[in-house]
């Protein structure tokens, strides 16, 4: 069961995993990155505890640790209790949510494995904004998407802001990087029997509701905010689909477009 330790000194090395979260980049591909998964708030910490990611510790004000008492009971990890001011000094900002947890990364499935069993997948190209990426994962969880595949130039789904914005659903929706050259790597999806449908605002694309995707196994290809999908990615898709919009509006935020597309083809 989790054992509680009171922290009075913000310089205590026991809480180094949580130190200076605004300044320290935790991504493993950046200098000094620790590659840790950081959950913020009671709801997201619960989802982390429930996930395959091995929890290292929890840190919070006593009231929030008490809220999590039943969730923490089965864990053999430290729970660091500290007051709000000490917590703010450790993490580098005042945390309204009052609790954080840290976990190591878990092994994700291979793209081919995800494609083999999925009914609906999201495939992302160049989605490099952490908040958009987190929103895509939250929408995927809500609307029955079976996984997310990451093409080139995508942000890290396990970065702290992505985890927070996803409300922890990035810890529950499986994801993988597509291997090999892009966009030839989309052949992994076709080999698994999925149709690749690229989202574009182009007027000559098929309205998604008329594309015959109902009941089909489909991979929805989405591009970055602003530029959208590259010409190469569009050319590599099996079909191009669009979301019909009112006159004078040419596109949606990528996470919003993803939600509309997921609702059109996925069954929660």
Q: Is residue 70 over pLDDT 60? A: yes
pLDDT digits (tens, 9 = 90+) for 34-66: 578 999 999 999 999 999 999 999 999 999 999
Q: Is residue 188 over pLDDT 50? A: yes
Q: Band of the pLDDT at 150, cuts 50, 70, 90?
A: very high
Interval 125-151 mean pLDDT:
96
Percentage of the chain surpassing pLDDT 90?
80
| Residue among 32, 71, 219, 231 nearest 140 (CA) | 219
pLDDT digits (tens, 9 = 90+) for 217-250: 999 999 998 889 999 999 999 999 999 988 888 7
Domain 3-103 has CATH 3.40.605.10: no
Secondary structure element (H or E) that encloses residue 25, with its range: none
Q: Chain centroid to CA 56: how far?
A: 20
Q: What does the domain layout of the chain look like in residue ranges?
A: 3-103, 111-265
Domain 111-265 has CATH 3.40.1280.10: yes
Q: How many Cα atoms sit within 13 Å of 137 on the Cβ side?
A: 29
Q: Is residue 32 over pLDDT 50? A: no
pLDDT of residue 244: 93
How many C-beta atoms surround the C-beta of residue 8 within 10 A? 9
Question: What spatial distance separates the first Cα and last Cα of the chain, rounded to whole Å?
Answer: 35
3-state secondary structure of 41: coil
Q: Band of the pLDDT at 116, cuts 50, 70, 90?
A: very high
Q: Is residue 177 over pLDDT 80? A: yes
Q: Where are the alpha helices (DSSP H) in the chain?
A: 42-49, 62-67, 69-72, 84-91, 111-117, 130-142, 160-165, 187-191, 231-236, 254-265
Interval 108-114 mean pLDDT:
94
Residue 45, sorted as left (phi over 0), alpha (psi -120 to 50) or beta, turns out to be alpha
Q: In what order do the strands lie in the sheet with 3-6?
A: 3-6, 78-81, 55-60, 99-103, 37-40
pLDDT of residue 233: 97
∠ at Cα 109 (113, 100), nearest 5°? 150
Interval 121-148 mean pLDDT:
96
């Amino acid at each position: 069961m989790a054992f509680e330790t009171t922290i009075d000194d913000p310089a205590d090395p026991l809480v180094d995993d949580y130190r200076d979260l605004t300044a320290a980049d935790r991504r493993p591909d950046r200098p000094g990155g620790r590659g840790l998964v950081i959950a913020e708030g009671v709801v997201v910490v619960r989802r982390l505890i429930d996930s395959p990611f091995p929890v290292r510790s929890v840190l919070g004000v006593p009231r929030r640790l008490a809220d999590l008492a039943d969730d923490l009971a089965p864990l053999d990890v430290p729970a660091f209790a500290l007051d709000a001011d000490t917590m703010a000094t450790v993490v580098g900002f005042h945390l309204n949510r009052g609790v954080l947890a840290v976990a190591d990364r878990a092994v994700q499935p291979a793209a081919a494995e995800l494609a083999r069993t999925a009914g609906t997948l999201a495939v992302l190209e160049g989605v490099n904004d952490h908040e958009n990426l987190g929103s895509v994962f939250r929408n995927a969880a809500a609307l029955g998407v079976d996984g997310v595949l990451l093409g080139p130039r995508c942000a890290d789904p396990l970065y702290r802001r992505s985890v927070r914005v996803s409300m922890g659903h990035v810890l529950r929706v499986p994801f993988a990087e597509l291997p090999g050259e892009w966009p030839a790597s989309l052949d992994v999806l076709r080999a698994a029997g999925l149709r690749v449908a690229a989202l574009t605002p182009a007027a000559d694309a098929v309205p998604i509701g008329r594309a015959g995707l109902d009941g089909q196994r489909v991979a929805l290809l989405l591009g970055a905010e602003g530029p959208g999908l590259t010409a190469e990615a569009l050319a590599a898709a099996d079909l191009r689909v669009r979301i019909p919009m009112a006159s004078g509006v040419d596109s949606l935020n990528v996470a919003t477009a993803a939600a509309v597309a997921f609702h059109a083809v996925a069954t929660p």
